[in-house]
Structure 1
């Protein structure tokens, strides 16, 4: 059983903990660190988690096998370096940094320390995405031509964004839903098609009163010369879909579980995969990497390429041109 410490017991941090606490046979959270412990005290007590405001003490605790960061994006670089220097294995929520330079600096510290590093791109762990990867790799689609995806929701419903939240603070979530949702689609596309080499983007605010764009889209070029299109909106009904087009047909993911295959000859197949907790699956993969000292399923190269795209989107928005990565 790998014992983890959570840094940042806010909304998403709690989702991560509750995905494994008391149900996983390989991972458990035993400690948490918060800037304002009083806000998380009741929840931590209910989860059987010791709470403090001192990360240094947690990092020196030999009873902690790994650390999970669910903190504001702008804090990740310094926290990654601090955890790496303490020699603790680390899981960091996406994006791991807001700039490519910061990501490379932090990951160099990870490499120097020789720790396990995991990035929180949980959509990769969906069985439907694994099936898409298998079909693409086996050549079922032939030469890949294009991929498109949309991950959107409405931040005025369910999790309601307000002007005092860190997620809408200047610099924390540039380009609307890019950091919260769009980056999931980008990572899945990198997983399926390989590295992205250029991007051009557009983003605007049509609906929100808060300073948060509600429509962001981008065109991608991949190293294999396929093209891509990503949309993320923060003012519409929830949707998650991806579609890959090849010379022999297309695959379409709808939601988290449904996959459709349509061949050029007209053959159509549909699959529905069982619901799983991707949060639990990624944390258990992290625990397995800690135990085996093996690599986490998402490579450092893919993580860096994802941050390069993230930075490229912002650069493109600033000059209204395509950015070569």
Structure 2
């Protein structure tokens, strides 16, 4: 499958690098109005820079577009590409509002497009191990989940960056980091029912936010909580508590380092088993499963209903943190 990457910030370039040896997806074109055509990303990876977004979605030789663009462009770009018959992969968050993601999902459905989403963390071996345990009911009835994903990498950005702009990246680190955590919650627990969230400006000045805490009640009556801070060194943890035991997954470093994850399982008798899981190319695994789904070889594990549920949670977190009220999800 021939694809074009739209958006060549750090992550857009990372996608091209991760797919360099893929036998299923070939990046033939890339475009970013902010990037010079002499940038080494084009020459080092034999990627064409001669077409803009409109030309790319009109190009019959390009099968798919990969959107690594700022959040505010996702809706129009997904819909435009889908209406041109292109398969679409969109970085997270797919949208900031429920009504927006519904329009995007409808455009994909109308044009037989499978929407890929940048939730590559679902392919992390430790999280796959946890998902299998939950599917096999090894922890018994689930009581609660809690998680923290924090990183101060964003403090290195210019304060005018869209990634720190509450209009385009609201609720602190939610759209960059927290959205992965709620994606895990949705894949494990299904849709949410009630949400309360608080943000703070501690290291950053208002209106920019650097702390976020969230409490969620899911429709199956299970509770979950998450915290995200963008002004502290990297920290990653995911906990699941069940009647027959608990699991804690700890990440030592961010995706750009090759440190293993630690998986701790405590069984009903209180015995703890510690395992380590090495880093794998989760970006490539996500894209290639999406490509296989497009060709009819397999299913894509990120279902559109889950994408919509996650955006509902995101929008509710944004609204709850702004209003200091509990938000109920009624759709």
Query: Smaller-chain TM-score range?
Result: over 0.9
How far has the Cα of 1:36 moved from its partner? 3.0
Deviation string for 1:39-83 (max 9, x for gaps)? 663321221100145212111222212110000001000000000
Paired residue for 1:104? 102
Contact 1:7 1:70 in 2 (8 A): yes
Q: Which runs of 4+ in 1 moved over 6 A?
A: none
What secondary structure is seen at the aligned counterpart in 2 of 1:17?
A: helix
1:168-183 alignment, distance < 5 Å: 168-183=164-179
Query: Is 2:241 aligned against 1:237?
Result: no
What secondary structure is seen at the aligned counterpart in 1 of 2:264?
A: strand
Taking the aligned partners of 2:56 and 2:297, their CA distance within structure 1 comes to 21
Paired residue for 1:87? 85
How far has the Cα of 1:169 moved from its partner? 2.8
1:38-117 alignment, distance < 5 Å: 38=36, 41-52=39-50, 54-117=52-115
How far has the Cα of 1:227 moved from its partner? 0.5
Paired residue for 2:4? 5
Contact 1:116 1:293 in 2 (8 A): no
Paired residue for 2:222? 226
Paired residue for 1:204? 200
What is the TM-score with the length of structure 1 in the denominator?
0.94
Number of residues of Structure 1 aligned to a counterpart in Structure 2 = 321
Paired residue for 1:164? 160
How far has the Cα of 1:213 moved from its partner? 1.0
Contact 1:243 1:251 in 2 (8 A): yes
Contact 1:8 1:34 in 2 (8 A): yes
Deviation string for 1:155-192 (max 9, x for gaps)? 366xx221232212341110110000001011011112
Cα distance 1:210–1:48, how it changes in 2: closer, same or farther (>3 A)? Answer: farther
Unaligned stretches of 5+ in structure 1? Answer: none
Query: Is 2:292 aligned against 1:296?
Result: no
Unaligned stretches of 5+ in structure 2? Answer: 252-259
What is the TM-score with the length of structure 2 in the denominator?
0.93
Cα distance 1:293–1:104, how it changes in 2: closer, same or farther (>3 A)? Answer: farther
What secondary structure is seen at the aligned counterpart in 1 of 2:149?
A: strand
